[in-house]
Amino acid sequence: MALEIRSIGERASQDITADSDFTNMPVAMEQRLDIACGQQLQTGWMGLDIADGLVAPDGAKYIHHDVLSFPWPIADNSIYESRCSHFVEHIPHQLDGSSKTRNGLVLFMEEVYRVMMPQGIVTIMCPYYSSQRAWQDPTHVRGITENTFRYFDKKWLENLGMGHYGINADFEVLTTKMILDPEYDSRNEAAKQNAIKHFINVVLDIHIVLRKRGVR
């Protein structure tokens, strides 16, 4: 059964195809990065993964590299579109950074920020924190909420008085979409929002679209 996708948050839903910067930009395979893609790499994309024996389909290629080893063998400001599906929940809480041990998700997002072009689009898909899907896998180490990736928005942090976090990334959250359990398909909007707020296993996955701030 198909799952319903709901848009939430402060902003109206914005489809990528409505973004004139995106649709008018000629995007080559080398400018589209699928991070930790495993065997799911699609034509027209460049995959970054450490797994051995991966065979790229025609019109795609792999970069064989540990996603959690920074820097990646990718030039600064060279990627216009990237995606990462069901990986961020696996990132360890602590990783060795350039000078000290730091939060793994922060280091990961700073590296994504480094390789993205200004105005580049990042799509992240993962289980929602209040779903069993987020915790049933013993290799999952973190839960993701609709506000997790706002910590990589400098304006958002500064408005909350948390500019001292010192995160070297600046992304605008374009859309946040929740994929609901089919049980809630027939409920009205108010009932769905109430269930999301108070109950577990209502939202299964969350899809977040970010855009790197800056001028091309």
Question: Could you report the average pLDDT of every consecutive run of 10 residues in the chain (216 residues)?
Answer: 38 42 66 96 96 93 96 97 98 76 91 97 97 97 96 94 91 95 92 94 96 88
Tell me, yes or no, whether 40 lies in a domain: yes
User: What pLDDT sits at residue 9?
Assistant: 40
Q: How far apart are the first and last CA of the chain?
A: 42
Tell me, yes or no, whether 11 lies in a domain: yes
User: What pLDDT sits at residue 25?
Assistant: 58
pTM here is 0.86
Q: Which residues are within 8 A (CB) of 22 and not within 5 positions of it... i.e. 6 or more apart? A: 16, 80, 81, 121
Tell me, yes or no, whether 187 lies in a domain: no
User: What pLDDT sits at residue 96?
Assistant: 73
Tell me, yes or no, whether 193 lies in a domain: no
User: What pLDDT sits at residue 98?
Assistant: 54
Q: Are 145 and 129 in contact (CB under 8 A)?
A: yes
Domain interval for residue 141: 5-179+205-212
Q: Are 109 and 61 in contact (CB under 8 A)?
A: no
Q: How many domains does the chain have?
A: 1
CATH value at residue 72: 3.40.50.150
Cα Rg of the chain (Å, integer): 18
User: What pLDDT sits at residue 214?
Assistant: 87
CB atoms closer than 10 angstroms to residue 115 = 21
